[in-house]
Amino acid sequence: MIIYELAVKGRINKAQNISTTDTLNDIPQKLRRKKRAYLPEVSELQAVRHYTQLSQKNFSIDTHFYPLGSCTMKYNPRACNSLAMLPGFLARHPQSDDSLGQGFLACMHELQDMLKEVTGMQAVSLAPMAGAQGEFAGIAMIRAYHDARNDTARNEILIPDAAHGTNPATAVMCGYRVKEIATDKNGDVDFDALKAAVGPQTAGLMLTNPSTLGVFERRIKEIAALVHAAGGLLYYDGANLNAILGKVRPGDMGFDVIHMNLHKTFSTPHGGGGPGSGPVGVNERLLPYLPIPVVGKKGDTYRIFDEHDIPQTMGRLSAFAGNAGILLRAYIYARMLGKEGMVRIAEYSTLNANYLMKMLEQAGFELAFSNRRATHEFIVTLKKQAKELNVTTLDFAKRLLDLGYHAPTTYFPLLVPECLLIEPTETETKDVLDAFVAAMTTIKKEAEQNPDKVTQAPETMPVRRLDEVRAAKQLDLRWPAKENNA
Amino acid sequence: MPFIPHTDYEVKEMLNAIGADNIEELFDEIPAELKISELKNIPSQLTEMEISRLMHERANQDNTPICFAGGGAYDHHIPAAVWEIATRGEFYSAYTPYQAEASQGSLQVIYEYQSMIANLTSLDASNASLYDGASALAEATLMAVRANRKSKSKRILVPRTVNPVYRKVTHTLVKNQGIKLEELNFDLQQGLIDMASLPAEPGDITAVVIPLPNYFGVLENVDELTDWAHKHGALVIAVVNPISLSILTPPGEWGEKGADIACGEGQPLGIPMSSGGPYFGFLTCKQALVRQMPGRIVGRTLDLDGKPGFTLTLQAREQHIRRSKATSNICTNQGLMVTAATIYMAIMGPDGLEKTAIASHGNNKKMLEKLTSKKSITRTFNQSFFHESVINIAADNASVLKKLAANNIVGGINLKSDYPELGDAILVCATEKRTVKEIDFFTEQLATAIAS
């Protein structure tokens, strides 16, 4: 049922209906809407019941194990939400005087400081509203740096082939060409290929470490030295920061600029597709180009820094100050973890991943990199099943849904065939991991003995497999009717 | 250990299974010289009770002042049910609906959202959201450059009556792609795009941005502007306030052919002001431009049994497939905010939304009457408005706003740095929430602050 199908013309939700005697006489007729907008006319209960029932059609962290690789689907503490939604925080207009926001600004200033410390950077701006915007801010800063030095011949960004798609898309938005760097057989960047690619045209390198292959880039110091020697800068994609929190810092590895995904590492909600939050950190070199606003402190007073304070800024990324309410949630989470808790995130997410990897290997699954440690995630490849049994990764993923598990990330990174990128996170118990191994084992047996069970899955979800070709060819992007039922 | 469930016994069992002596061994691929021993400058952990005490103190410190500021963030009433439902764990803690069969809830919400926002703007199709209104305008200009194949100039006309921050953000996001943003000036009496300043022979223009209401709250001559843009081969990008669209002509009906793309800030639709975010940007367009849209789009299709269902569609536009050739680098958008906005629109209905718009407009009218009854306060522009307006005051506006803040009033937005030619001008707003008593109080306090 679509909400519009529940609607009946003339049904008015009186509790939300303001009585007003005002008129629109002073607005010229030609600027007035002629026909009322077609929105559903339902009672408040109808709406509440409809959306509650829709919520029940979702898998979520709160309801299911959700080992979606590279997304860090860990528990989102409820306190972070309820405390960020206190009236004093929700009521603050973004352009109200700083004197009316000292409580909020104190949280932001302390969050900047904590993020500086965990990443080893000189300064942090909380402005970017998602990881991809953080990437944009970072590459735009690299560009501003080269431009300020009149070093304008650099027109290329180097990106390993295992990178997220946002990396190359970002480089292009910043006016750069992209050169892909191959990965070697152990999952590291192919150092010789990198060496051959670096040159006077190199503006920078974008690197995720640990990489999306679930391994730590061991030659990072050499990579940093190589790129720096050629005059390029290093960008750190913080998608996998969870794996190394409190153990090793991007700043110490030699990165000049980084972004963090607070909706991953700092457990802010994923919300069915956002909001994210992608603060950036910089070293001294890029300090002058930080995106604005930044929260500063003078004596005991907090103040918002803008273009007057940071005249060479790469600019503004949002109408106000980024996803403020999400930053509050991250702040609360960080304070609850403290210095002791942060390092445990790395330790226990790594423990869970290595345990799960080992148990799946023992259950007969092929690992993409069996000679490597897992970081907080790892890759299983089902190429054997796909080739011999004609049961693909997609089939495994759909069957997992039937057994009560959200599927891991599938078919990413693109260079490992038939892959599952599995990230259990630190907040899951051993029991859950064991049960997941049992479910994978069950599917493996089914694939061998009764493949239809897997290739026809899911059978217990609200819908069976959807016709995606039809979705793209016979576009239906909105409810087609023109008015509510009489 | 906060949120980590492991017992000592389990840790031992797991390490045994892995074949490691201790957890540290699992980090043995990280070069030893890079490792740190401690995070020195991070405070120690707090229990939920302790952090709760701290956050209550800080929230109370910020208080809940009376708000007469708008400028892109508006203090509207939000029905209690909106966030009760939006923060249900099933919405709150799910992610992008990659596994469609296990995400039909989020997917259907987005489909319903796309339907509602398309109807509100009177255009054919919507995406699943962008970050906020400002970045939505940037994406709309990039989209226009892709879509207007006849135009080679990459010139976008952006009137100064468009929110100055939206213009700054757009500049930041598109400047490295060879796009030229050219300003159009406004008439100082009317607060409207100066029609006389439109060139008769403008040359090759890719798109024209038209706001309604504009940043000053004033209603632009959208029909004439749209027709002028189309006559010269440009696409029209509308920047609109979604609440106002329940009473104002929607972009799809502007001029002869309607605007081609509409975008704006979704915050008025049930999202708290919350220091500026998270909000969401909306973007709708004519059917012919659908494949140039950035971001996620949800489509309705059929499953193997012929039963209707929802899935992400047209993904070949997106970064995870197209990589460097994608329409945008956007990945995560503002899903939770869209969920709230959808519930808001369903609960308010067309009538509730219209009453909200009428009452907001009415309150602004009342406020202007009250304010201009004082000699020291004048209206800056003489044209029709929606729910905010520019006033001039007979004192330094920055210090007056400071004094109001000390009395727990957010007195509006200081326009001096963005519009120095307007003098001591303040952008003020009254939504449906403002009472007569609050407006009277504001008037007296403002007059006193000016006089003192």
Q: Is A348 on the interface with B (CB under 8 A)?
A: yes
How much is the pLDDT for B332?
86
Interface subset of A 86-105, CB within 8 angstroms of B: 86-97, 99-104
Q: Is A76 on the interface with B (CB under 8 A)?
A: yes
Q: Are A139 and A235 in contact (CB under 8 A)?
A: yes
Pair of tokens at residue B391: 């006033």
Q: Is B330 on the interface with A (CB under 8 A)?
A: yes
Q: Residue B263 is inside which H or E element, if any?
A: strand B261-265
Domain boundaries along the sequence of chain B: 8-62, 66-76+352-451, 80-343
Q: Provide mean pLDDT across the span A393-413.
A: 97
Angle between the N-to-C axes of helices B48-62 and A102-119, in degrees from 0 to 180, rounded to the nearest 10: 130
User: Which domains, and CATH codes, for chain A?
Assistant: 3-55 (no CATH), 79-337 (3.40.640.10), 345-471 (3.90.1150.10)
Interface probe with B: pick from A61, A96, A411, most Cβ of B within 10 Å? A96
Q: Is B348 on the interface with A (CB under 8 A)?
A: yes
**From A316, which residue of chain B is nearest by alpha-carbon distance?**
B169
**Three-state SS at B199:** coil
> B53-110, pLDDT tens digit by residue?
999 999 999 989 999 999 999 999 999 999 999 999 999 999 999 999 999 999 999 9
Q: Is the pLDDT of residue B1 over 80?
A: no
Q: Are B228 and B251 in contact (CB under 8 A)?
A: no
- The minimum CA-CA distance between B375 and chain A, rounded to whole Å, is 24
Q: Is B435 on the interface with A (CB under 8 A)?
A: no
Q: Is A131 on the interface with B (CB under 8 A)?
A: yes
Q: Is the pLDDT of residue B196 over 90?
A: no
- The minimum CA-CA distance between A137 and chain B, rounded to whole Å, is 9
**From A119, which residue of chain B is nearest by alpha-carbon distance?**
B39
| CB-based contact A466 B303, cutoff 8 Å | yes
Question: Hey, what amino acid is at B340?
Answer: A
Q: Is the pLDDT of residue B342 over 80?
A: yes
Q: Is the pLDDT of residue B9 over 90?
A: yes
Distance CA A102, CA B126 (A): 38
How much is the pLDDT for B304?
97
**Three-state SS at A385:** helix
Q: What is the mean pLDDT of chain B?
A: 97
Q: Are A65 and A432 in contact (CB under 8 A)?
A: yes
CA distances to A110, A284, A324 from A138, rounded to whole Å, are 22, 14, 20
Going along B286-366, which residue ranges are E strands?
Answer: 298-302, 308-312
Q: Is A426 on the interface with B (CB under 8 A)?
A: yes
| CB-based contact A248 B311, cutoff 8 Å | no
Handedness of CA A128, A100, A121, A200 (dihedral sign): positive
**Within 10 Å of residue A459's Cβ, how many Cβ atoms?**
14
Among the four given CATH numbers 3.30.1300.10, 3.40.50.720, 3.20.20.100, 3.90.1150.10, the one describing domain B66-76+352-451: 3.90.1150.10
Q: Is A30 on the interface with B (CB under 8 A)?
A: yes
**Within 10 Å of residue A430's Cβ, how many Cβ atoms?**
21
Q: Is the pLDDT of residue A210 over 80?
A: yes
Interface subset of B 296-315, CB within 8 angstroms of A: 296-305, 307-311, 313-314
The terminus-to-terminus CA distance of chain B in angstroms comes to 56
Among the four given CATH numbers 3.80.10.10, 3.40.640.10, 3.60.40.10, 3.40.50.12280, the one describing domain B80-343: 3.40.640.10
Q: Which residues contact B11 (CB under 8 A, 6 or more apart)?
A: A351, B23
User: A293 preceded by cis ω (within 30°)?
Assistant: yes
Q: Provide mean pLDDT across the span B313-338.
A: 89
**Within 10 Å of residue A178's Cβ, how many Cβ atoms?**
19
Q: Is A24 on the interface with B (CB under 8 A)?
A: yes
How much is the pLDDT for A321?
85
**Residues of chain A neighbouring B63 (CB-CB closer than 8 A):** 88, 91, 100
> A323-341, pLDDT tens digit by residue?
999 999 999 999 999 999 9
- The partner residue sitting opposite B176, judged by closest CB among A44, A60, A175, is A175
Q: Is A54 on the interface with B (CB under 8 A)?
A: yes
- The partner residue sitting opposite B277, judged by closest CB among A168, A322, A410, is A322
- The minimum CA-CA distance between B170 and chain A, rounded to whole Å, is 8
Bridge partners of residue B302, in order along the sequence: B308
- Closest of B415, B132, B174, B125 to residue A174, by C-alpha: B174
- The minimum CA-CA distance between A120 and chain B, rounded to whole Å, is 10
Q: Are A277 and A322 in contact (CB under 8 A)?
A: yes
How much is the pLDDT for A261?
97
Bridge partners of residue A405, in order along the sequence: A65
- The minimum CA-CA distance between B335 and chain A, rounded to whole Å, is 5
A370 exposed, middle or buried (CB, 10 Å; 0-12, 13-18, 19+)?
exposed
Distance CA A242, CA B276 (A): 27
> A407-433, pLDDT tens digit by residue?
999 999 999 999 999 999 999 999 999
| CB-based contact B432 A472, cutoff 8 Å | no
How much is the pLDDT for B396?
98
Pair of tokens at residue A74: 């860990």
How much is the pLDDT for B230?
98
Interface subset of B 129-188, CB within 8 angstroms of A: 129, 131-135, 163, 165-166, 168-169, 171-173, 176-178
**Residues of chain A neighbouring B28 (CB-CB closer than 8 A):** 373
Pair of tokens at residue A17: 């209906």
How much is the pLDDT for A481?
82
> A233-262, pLDDT tens digit by residue?
999 999 999 999 999 999 999 999 999 999
